[in-house]
Amino acid sequence: MRNLMARRMQTVKPSFIREILKVTQDPTVISFAGGLPSPDLFAVEPMSQAAAKVFRQGGRSALQYSTTPGHPPLRQWIADHCQRRYGLQVDADQILITSGSQQGLDLIGKVFVNPYDPVVIEEPGYLGAIQALGMQEARIYSVPLLDEGLDLEFLETVLSGDRIKLVYTIPNFQNPSGLTYSLQGRQALAERIAKRDLVLVEDDPYGLLRYEGQDLPALARLLPDKVLLLGSFSKIVAPGLRLGWICGPADVIKELVTAKQAADLHTGTFVQRVLAQYLADNDLDAHVEVLRRVYRQRRDTMIGALERSMPAEVTFTRPEGGMFLWVTLPAGVSSLRLFELAIQQKVAFVPGTPFYVDGGGEQNLRLNFSNASEHDIETGVARLGAAMQGMLEG
């Protein structure tokens, strides 16, 4: 049957991270590979109570088909959240519930991107965006990510040279780098986008996980008519719910609803209602504050362990929030080779190459600190340092 498959399947590769996670099923392997929240912090009992309440008060309707845009109380909660957090004046009609924010990316690609349409992503870029846009056979331009945000001179060259259809960004604690766009970087990007007819996709799965510094204005606040804002409950409640959302102009949401009808009719009725009940009965801000406290300590533990265990030539980002650190190895040192040695030492990470579209990342790797205890972080980074030292001496 393979000879009958669509052309797009010849260019889209399986997720490197999903393949690595198979290796980490060994319980003796300490994994810094996946972008996983800590299961120890899942609100199991409150979610159980919410599920029981949903069954008691409307179990039959919760198990029935529902409307494509999503459960109205949940959409209203998200609209209110967008007003509180981002300062956006939106209503529930501007919200679409998705099966995780990854589906949001897929739907946006289907609605806006024709084969060979030019789009822009960050470099290094989020692997899920590379896959989603690749499935639409987009022509992907990678713009380097600097400390302040996108390399605007490089972006200007790209925008001037081709009619870019879409720009994808993660301004807060970017995946994989952990970098955050500065206020000046956001404003300058908004000025350039405002002059052009294109869609800016702002993905914000990590924005609430800030451990230091001040919240910065969303691009959606600076460019309300040009931005589609993606959000997710995966990092702050539970990824197993597979619940995300898109916020945007009502006429665009209408088209995204049509695309979703062709994909899955609607996101699961029951999980939407359970989440809505959980949000009604519990203080999400208090729960997020617990996440911040624990993840901040794990981030600090990883930074300290890297400083002690890695050679001085190794550098890494020091994110103000999120879930990842981005490591740069000395010239000539391959992260793929280090991965092979690290697995022998029973520690895993993601090499940098999957985060680049046109080659690169050989000297980089991504480390996740949210899903490992402080003890495992200390032990795992020590193992990684030993593997690194072995490479340099060999």
Place of tokens 């972080």: 377
User: Given a cut of 90, is residue 10 above it in pLDDT?
Assistant: no
- What is each CA distance from 164 to 56, 124, 204, in whole angstroms? 51, 19, 22
Same domain, 146 and 252: yes
CATH code, domain carrying 267: 3.40.640.10
User: Given a cut of 90, is residue 126 above it in pLDDT?
Assistant: yes
Same domain, 206 and 347: no
Same domain, 38 and 51: no
Indicate the residue among 281, 309, 327 that finishes a domain.
Answer: 281
Condensed to tens digits (0 to 9), the pLDDT of residues 148-192 reads 999 999 999 999 998 999 999 999 999 999 999 999 999 999 999
Whole-number percent of the chain with pLDDT over 70: 96
Residue 1 has a pLDDT of 85
Same domain, 86 and 230: yes
The three state secondary structure string of the chain is CHHHCCHHHHCCCCCHHHHHHHHCCCCCCEECCCCCCCHHHCCHHHHHHHHHHHHHHHHHHHCCCCCCCCCHHHHHHHHHHHHHHHCCCCCHHHEEEECHHHHHHHHHHHHHCCCCCEEEEEECCCHHHHHHHHHCCCEEEEEEEECCEECHHHHHHHHHHCCCCEEEECCCCCCCCCCCCCHHHHHHHHHHHHCCCCEEEEECCCCCCECCCCCCCCHHHHCCCCEEEEEECCCCCCHHHCCEEEECCHHHHHHHHHHHHHHHCCCCHHHHHHHHHHHHHCCHHHHHHHHHHHHHHHHHHHHHHHHHHCCCCCEECCCCECCEEEEECCCCCCHHHHHHHHHHCCEECEECHHHCCCCCCCCEEEEECCCCCHHHHHHHHHHHHHHHHHHHHC
Condensed to tens digits (0 to 9), the pLDDT of residues 44-94 reads 999 999 999 999 999 999 999 999 999 999 999 999 999 999 999 999 999
CATH code, domain carrying 18: 3.90.1150.10
User: Given a cut of 70, is residue 17 above it in pLDDT?
Assistant: no
Domain that holds residue 343: 2-43+286-393
Residue 390 has a pLDDT of 83
Same domain, 36 and 83: no
Condensed to tens digits (0 to 9), the pLDDT of residues 324-337 reads 999 999 988 999 99
- Domain count across the chain: 2
User: Given a cut of 90, is residue 392 above it in pLDDT?
Assistant: no
Same domain, 192 and 222: yes
Q: What is the mean pLDDT of residues 250-269?
A: 97
Condensed to tens digits (0 to 9), the pLDDT of residues 272-286 reads 999 999 999 999 999
User: Given a cut of 80, is residue 25 above it in pLDDT?
Assistant: no
- For residues 177 and 356, what is the distance between their CA atoms, to the nearest angstrom? 12
Read off the pLDDT band of 4 (50, 70, 90): confident
User: Given a cut of 70, is residue 18 above it in pLDDT?
Assistant: no
- For residues 93 and 76, what is the distance between their CA atoms, to the nearest angstrom? 9
